[in-house]
Amino acid sequence: MTIEQAEKRIAELTEKINYYNFRYYHDNVSEISDYEFDQLLAELIALETQFPQLQQPDSPTQRVGGTITKEFAQVRHKYPMLSLGNTYSEGELLEFDRRVRKLLEKQPVEYVCELKWDGVALSMTYQNGLFVQGLTRGDGEQGDDITANIKTIRTLPLRVQADRLPAEFEVRGEGFMSRHIFDSINEEIAEENEKREQEGKKLLSYLANPRNAAAGTLKMQDSAIVAKRRIDVYIYDLLCENNPFATHSEALDYLKQVGFQVSPHYRKCTSIEQVLGFIKEWETKRENLPVDTDGVVIKVNSYAQREELGYTAKSPRWAIAYKYKAESAATELLSISYQVGRTGAITPVANLRPVKLAGTTVKRASLHNANEIARLDLHEGDTVLIEKGGEIIPKITGVEITKRKAEARRIRFISHCPECHTPLVRHPGEAAFYCPNEKGCPPQLKGKIEHFISRKAMNIESMGSKTVDLFFEKGLIRTPADLYQLKQEDILQLEGFKELSSQNIINGIAASKQQPFSRILFGLGIRFVGETVAEKLADYFKNIDALAAADKETLMNIPEIGEKIASSVVDWFADPDNRAYVERLRQAGLQMATTSSRQTISNKLSGKTFVISGVFQKYEREALKELIALHGGKHIATVSSKTDFLLAGSGVGPAKLAKAEKLGVKIISETEFEQMIS
Ligand code: IVH
């Protein structure tokens, strides 16, 4: 095929695919089968691969993703993304209306009521009709550049013909995951987990709620996965210089007309009574929408009036969000269970008479700690009020005291571990009770093994918590070091294990011996030594013997290591059992030292610590980190008195800048940095 023929065919295919996409996503009509559609798309992808110079930035192939973004660039918003004042009360809405009318000196006011979608705020920039950049809200001043991910949203036009708008404009809206996509992903996870359970593999976690799912998806680094998750967007705002419209509703109508997805459920209201009517009407109707909503946004319609009203420090005076109260239900408290975690912390969980709440049956509610039980003054058999917030497990928000029986006894937090019966202790300044029997309490021992094999530690994928439970109960393992003594014959003796599944486990354990030193450090489960601290310690000490020998002062000299972490590390290595445990891991062949593959080019930055913030002209952030290390310097995340330089790009974080100035940390540009290493 000649390039001319390819160009013609690409144009034909693009037009067809765009048409079918529009019919499908806007009108809900499939004019051709999925198979035929996929054939067209596959042909276009093939042609664009063969003739990359012909690929258009708004090609429908862009929506299937494929871009891998290592770290999202931080970009400053041209117009800050403000938040809205919130209220749950009608009284405050009347107050808002009075304030608006007073400031506008009795001019007639028109409001636009819109549903408040429960998703993620997004900002999309168009230049000469072409979608060029999509950002998250971030801190309102600057957000993450997630353009590749936003391109996968099928209802967002990649090119528009918007003749009434200037060459550059921005639309804002709420990115969301519809409830049925959310449910179907969780169903897929359930199916996959069933398989994994049979194979004794680690289970996948479920998506908590559509909002978190949308936020998490849009921050994924592989846009091909984002494309599969079918994120959608409702556009609710237009921003540009010389806005040609007099009112917000005109802007919305125009945006809809040129192809943006604007929710049809907005309404103009000329009085606050009409606004209250809209709120009441949607309180129940919203349950039938395919998208979660958590309230109504009320906006002054006229742009001129908006300008007169202006802004407070954080939000516009011309808009307010009315939030519906979280759904709640009353039910009986049947009992309290106490769970023991890996660190020995005891978490109380309320067992409830099953009750329907926001579409699901609730049987349990989290209580966090003993203070929460005391705060609620819980008594046996109490009728409790439960609410669903963003989490999957609902929480108890109150007690119906009038329903309490006279003889009901106050619930007293347990004094002994429910598993090993050791008296519980409380660390000064902490709310949780702990079981101190860390070397003998079964759930703590099992929890430590689970932590050791977890994804961010040794990543032994062939084992899950069920397998750990079983091996522990059968006496095959008691500490993570025992894993490396396991033999296939031991596993084959257990019910349900065959040649393949047992070999899988042995292979997974053997492969973990290649994990780097920092992961082992994290896997040891030393209090306060999370993933990042483990990396820092590994980087600094290079091997476990140097770390074990370090005193508190040495540890505290390391940037970002404070007294709490230092004490915890020193205490841990002071325990002979822990030292013996480390020896067993060493004998098993685990990496107890960093295998430094990185060579240094110079010592020009030796002993110097750098914080990087902002966007740079020449270098990606990762490249700068690499350069710092190559010249013997250290990169750290936060500005402190131990920081030598703040390497600041455009859009440097204002908090970081202020802190650096306050502490007298030298602020340098990309060019100055280059001079330092040249
Ligand atoms: S207007 C000046 N309209 O609610 C603020 N926001 O704090 C302009 N939201 O996270 C926002 N639905 O993403 C507006 N119909 C709607 C909305 C909406 C949801 C979100 C928004 C932001 C929060 C406002």
Measure CA 459 to chain center: 21
| Closest Cα to atom 10 of ligand 1 | 121
Between 428 and 140, where is the model more confident? Answer: 140
Ligand 1: residue of 84, 86, 211, 239 to mutate (most ligand atoms within 8 A of CB) is: 84
The contacts of residue 577 (CB under 8 Å, 6+ apart) are: 439
| 652 three-state secondary structure | coil
Q: Specify whether 306 is located in the same domain as 361.
A: no
Q: Give the pLDDT band (50/70/90) at residue 47.
A: very high
- Distance separating alpha carbons of residues 54 and 4, to the nearest angstrom: 10
Q: How many CA atoms lie within 13 A of 406 on its CB side?
A: 0
pTM for this model (two decimals): 0.58
Q: By alpha-carbon position, which residue is closest to atom 21 of ligand 1? A: 121
Which residue has the CA at smallest separation from atom 7 of ligand 1? Answer: 83
User: Is residue 354's pLDDT more than 70?
Assistant: yes
The domain spanning residue 654 has which CATH number? 3.40.50.10190
Q: Answer yes or no: are the C-beta atoms of 265 and 285 closer than 8 Å.
A: no
Indicate the angle between helix axes 90-103 and 272-285, nearest 10 degrees: 140
Sheet with 609-613: strands ordered across: 634-635, 609-613, 645-648, 666-668
pLDDT digits (tens, 9 = 90+) for 287-336: 889 999 999 999 999 999 999 999 987 889 999 999 988 778 899 999 99
Query: What percentage of the chain has pLDDT greater than the value 90?
Result: 62
Quote the pLDDT of residue 387. Answer: 87
Q: Residue 641 has what pLDDT?
A: 86
Residue whose token pair is 């600057």? 142
Q: Secondary structure of the chain: what % helix, strand, coil (to 5)?
A: 40, 20, 40
Confidence bin at 423 (pLDDT 50/70/90): very high
What is the tally of structural domains in the chain?
6
Q: Which atom of ligand 1 is nearest to the CA of 120?
A: 13
Is position 602 within any domain?
Answer: no
pLDDT in tens, 563-589: 999 999 999 999 999 999 999 999 999
Say if strands 328-340 and 346-357 run parallel, antiparallel, or are unpaired: antiparallel
Task: Determine the Cα–Cα distance for residues 517 and 586; give it in Å rounded to an integer.
Answer: 11
Quick check: helix, strand or coil at residue 75? strand
The whole-number pLDDT of residue 214 equals: 95
What does the longest C-alpha to C-alpha distance in the chain come to? 90
Please say which residue of 397, 414, 435 terminates a domain.
435
From the CA of 319, give the closest atom in ligand 1.
2
Is residue 245 located within the same domain as residue 314? yes
63-77, 302-316, 456-470: range with lowest mean pLDDT: 63-77
Probe target for ligand 1 pocket from 120, 123, 174, 266, with the most ligand atoms within 8 Å of CB: 174
- 116 Cα: distance to centroid of ligand 1 (angstroms): 6
175 shares its domain with 220: yes
User: Residue 84 C-alpha to ligand 1 middle, in angstroms?
Assistant: 7
User: What atom in ligand 1 is closest to the CA of residue 115?
Assistant: 15
Atom of ligand 1 nearest to the CA of 174: 13
- At 597 the pLDDT is 54
* C-alpha 106 – ligand 1 centre gap (Å): 27
Are residues 194 and 311 both part of a single domain? yes
For residue 114, the cross-strand partners are 297
CA of 173 to the centre of ligand 1 (A): 7
Nearest-CA residue for ligand 1 atom 2 is: 82
Catalytic residue from among 16, 102, 116, 195: 116
Asked about 325 being catalytic, the answer comes back as: no
Residue 131 covered by a domain: yes
Local confidence band at 392 (pLDDT 50, 70, 90 cut-offs): low
Nearest by Cα to 270 from 306, 300, 295, 307: 300
Pocket of ligand 1 (CB under 6 A): 82-84, 114, 116-117, 121, 174, 236-237, 297, 316, 319, 321
Which of 179-193, 521-535, 649-663 shows the highest mean pLDDT? 521-535
Confidence at 422, pLDDT banded by 50, 70, 90? very high
The C-alpha atoms of residue 470 and residue 480 are separated, in whole angstroms, by: 14
Instruction: Calculate how far, in angstroms, residue 327's C-alpha sits from the geometric centre of ligand 1.
Output: 21
Q: Ligand 1 atom closest to Cα of 116?
A: 12
Q: List Cα–Cα distances, 148 to 262, 290, 455, in angstroms.
A: 22, 25, 27
User: Mean of the pLDDT values across residues 416-421?
Assistant: 96
Q: Is the pLDDT of residue 390 over 70?
A: no
Per DSSP, the three-state class of 345 is: strand
pLDDT tier, 369 (very low <50, low <70, confident <90, very high otherwise): confident
187 and 171, same structural domain?
yes
Q: In the numeric block, which tokens belong to residue 125? A: 């920039």
Q: Say which DSSP state 61 is in.
A: G
**Claim to verify: residue 621 and residue 655 sit in the same structural domain:** yes
Q: Regarding beta strands 645-648 and 666-668, do their DSSP bridges make them parallel or antiparallel, or are they unpaired? A: parallel
Top pLDDT among 435 and 362 is at: 435
Residue 81 lies in a domain: no
Is the same domain home to 91 and 214?
Answer: yes
Q: How far apart are CA 202 and CA 529, in angstroms?
A: 23
Q: Is the pLDDT of residue 80 over 80?
A: yes
Same domain, 429 and 446: no
Q: Looking at the structure, do residues 13 and 98 belong to the same domain, yes or no?
A: no
Dist. CA 67 → ligand 1 center (Å): 28
Mutate to test the pocket of ligand 1, among 297, 298, 311 (most ligand atoms within 8 A of CB): 297
**pLDDT confidence of residue 596:** 60
CA–centroid distance, residue 234 to ligand 1 (Å): 11
Judge whether 598 lies within some domain.
Answer: no
- Position 40, amino acid: L
CA of 62 to the centre of ligand 1 (A): 27
Same domain, 205 and 293: yes
Boundary of a domain, candidates 296, 323, 350: 323
360 in a structural domain: yes
Domain boundary among 272, 296, 323: 323
* pLDDT tens figures, 260-293: 999 999 999 999 999 999 999 999 899 889 999 9
Q: Under a CB-based contact definition with an 8 Å cutoff, are residues 113 and 279 in contact?
A: yes
- Residue 549: give its domain's CATH number: 1.10.150.20
Residue 35 sits in a domain whose CATH number is 1.10.287.610
Per the domain annotation, does 77 fall within a domain? no
Quick check: 323 and 88 in contact, CB under 8 A? yes
Q: Is residue 74 in some structural domain?
A: no
Which atom of ligand 1 lies closest to the CA of 114? 15
Q: Could you tell me the distance, in angstroms and rounded to a whole number, from the CA of residue 237 to the centre of ligand 1?
A: 9
431 occurs within a structural domain: yes
**pLDDT band at residue 637 using 50, 70 and 90 as cut-offs:** confident
552: burial class by Cβ within 10 Å (0-12, 13-18, 19+)?
A: middle
CATH number at residue 331: 2.40.50.140
Atom of ligand 1 nearest to the CA of 137: 10
Atom of ligand 1 nearest to the CA of 86: 7
- Ligand 1 centre from 298 Cα, in Å? 10
Q: Give residue for tokens 């290079």.
A: 542
Which amino acid is located at 324 in the chain?
A: Y
Which pLDDT score is estimated for 284?
Answer: 85
In this structure, what token pair is assigned to residue 669?
């540009």
Range of the domain at 579: 517-587
Least confident range of 121-135, 139-153, 232-246, 652-666: 652-666
**In terms of domains, do 95 and 153 share one?**
yes
The full DSSP string for 84-137 is --EE--HHHHHHHHHHHHHHTTT----EEEEEEESSEEEEEEEETTEEEEEEE-
Q: Are residues 573 and 621 in the same domain?
A: no
Looking up tokens 């994990």, which residue turns up?
Answer: 515
What is the dihedral sign for C-alpha 292, 297, 303, 307?
negative
Pocket test for ligand 1, best of 113, 116, 248 (most atoms within 8 A of CB): 116
Give whole-number Cα distances, 568 to 294, 421, 431, 564, 594, in Å: 43, 25, 19, 6, 22
Q: How far is the CA of 392 from the centre of ligand 1 (A)?
A: 24
